[in-house]
Amino acid sequence: MSRIVAIVGRPNVGKSTLFNRLTGRREAIEDPTAGVTRDRHYGRVEWNGEHFTLIDTGGYVKGSDDIFESEIRKQVGHAIDEADLILFVVDIVEGITPFDRSVADMLRRLEDKDKKVILVANKADNFGMENMANEFYALGLGDIFAVSSVSGAGTGDLLDTMMLLMADKQDDAPMNDLPQIAVVGRPNVGKSSFINALFDVERHIVTDVAGTTRDAVDTRFTRFGHDLMLIDTAGLRKKAKVDEDVEFYSVLRTVKAIERSDVCLLVIDATQGFEAQDMSIFSLAVNNHKGIVIVVNKWDLIEKDTKTTEDYSKLIRKKMAPFNDVPIVFTSVLEKQRLLKVLDVAMGVYNNRIKKIPTHKLNDVMLPIIEATPPPSIKAKFVKIKYITQLPTAFPAFAMFCNLPQYIREDYTRFLENQIREQFDFTGCPMEIFFRKK
């Protein structure tokens, strides 16, 4: 059983700053604007050799009509349902507010259901401020931990207590050992809806407003024989449209999510086609050597004939050239069509990406092909490739040893790549081939 801790509280008390402090990574967006953290954001914390999962939530706001705040309240509810331990964060500078009392009332009821709660008074940025935390005893939640998320003061004692309260929980292996599948694409193509449909629950906020997801959100998926991490990301817009500080950081989070992923599910809108911005995201994934699956969503809105999928696929592959050995899956999140097939295909690409071909097999298969179709001579120079080996990289990369590597042309490199793909199946995986002097 995993150990899960949820951070809750009203907006702007420093929940995301505390999340970043405890995880040791700047993953959750910090901004003075209330409601910046909208979805649950998952991270891993290591303390004295022990691990647990930490969830950063949107600020709990009661009685608001704002579309995002009503959704944030639902997200907090989900996080509380999942968690073994709740960190209730309050602002030591502002003191107790009516919102704090509202959250405390809800959390006191949870303690009767074997849910442990720790009250964290944040922004105790100097020694004298710790005494100001005493007023929070009025909330009736027991001992108070005065901390400074900015400097880290008090967080060591907090972590020690958290580990004691969760001592009876056995933690799973670190999530980083699982396949990391990033769901990427332009805003409003259905990325969060895709993940919600897989879980049959609204884990991620979905509205008609483009750009609802701002953080990159990690969610573990353990259904239908799969065990992997799904990363829902903010939609990438063209740079000219990125005019908010928050959205700028969202783009950085998406880029980082792609960088740390194993496979990217590039979701496109079937009604809009494979646009320039889709190509930009595709190129970003290729340049980072990530596995790629194209997910054509909203396929239910397209009028179809017998060749529709074939013609649509040809158009996409033409735009992706020269690297177009990429699986394309046509889905409808609304009608839940072929959603599990997307994950099956993604895991196939993941396995292709980590595949290692024995050196003897590579040479037995590829050297006869090279001998039958040798590199073209340049300036009366004849290139002879004598030996091939796969490099120990996280993506498919091969070294070919020859007498004159400087005379290998790009079109011949592409020919060799196509032959390797045909013989050993690296579908969906960008590949590198290096020529070295023997």
* Side chain identity at residue 61, one-letter code: V
Which one has a higher pLDDT value, 285 or 360? Answer: 360
Q: What is the mean pLDDT of residues 172-187?
A: 76
Highest-confidence segment of 61-70, 208-217, 235-244, 276-285: 276-285
The pLDDT of residue 1 is above 90 = no
Cβ-based neighbour number of residue 77 at 10 Å? 14
Kindly report, residue by residue over 330-374, the tens digit of the pLDDT.
Answer: 999 888 889 999 999 999 999 999 999 999 999 999 999 999 999
The pLDDT of residue 315 is above 50 = yes
The pLDDT > 70 percentage for the chain reads: 77
**Starting from the edge strand earliest in sequence, which strands make up the sheet with 180-184, in order?**
217-221, 228-232, 180-184, 263-269, 291-297, 328-330
Kindly report, residue by residue over 290-303, the tens digit of the pLDDT.
Answer: 999 999 999 999 88
| Of 258, 429, 240, 282, nearest in space to 347 by CA | 429
pLDDT at residue number 43? 67
Which one has a higher pLDDT value, 427 or 211? Answer: 427
Average pLDDT score, the chain? 80
Q: What is the mean pLDDT of residues 189-198?
A: 84
Q: What is the mean pLDDT of residues 70-80?
A: 59
| Confidence label for 386 from pLDDT (cuts 50, 70 and 90) | very high
Q: What is the mean pLDDT of residues 305-313?
A: 86
Q: What is the CA radius of gyration of the chain?
A: 26
Nearest-5° Cα angle at 184, 178 to 190:
115
What global pTM score does this model have? Answer: 0.60
pLDDT at residue number 385? 93
The pLDDT of residue 55 is above 70 = yes
The pLDDT of residue 202 is above 70 = no
Kindly report, residue by residue over 404-416, the tens digit of the pLDDT.
Answer: 888 899 999 999 9
Q: Are 231 and 261 in contact (CB under 8 A)?
A: yes
pLDDT at residue number 3? 75
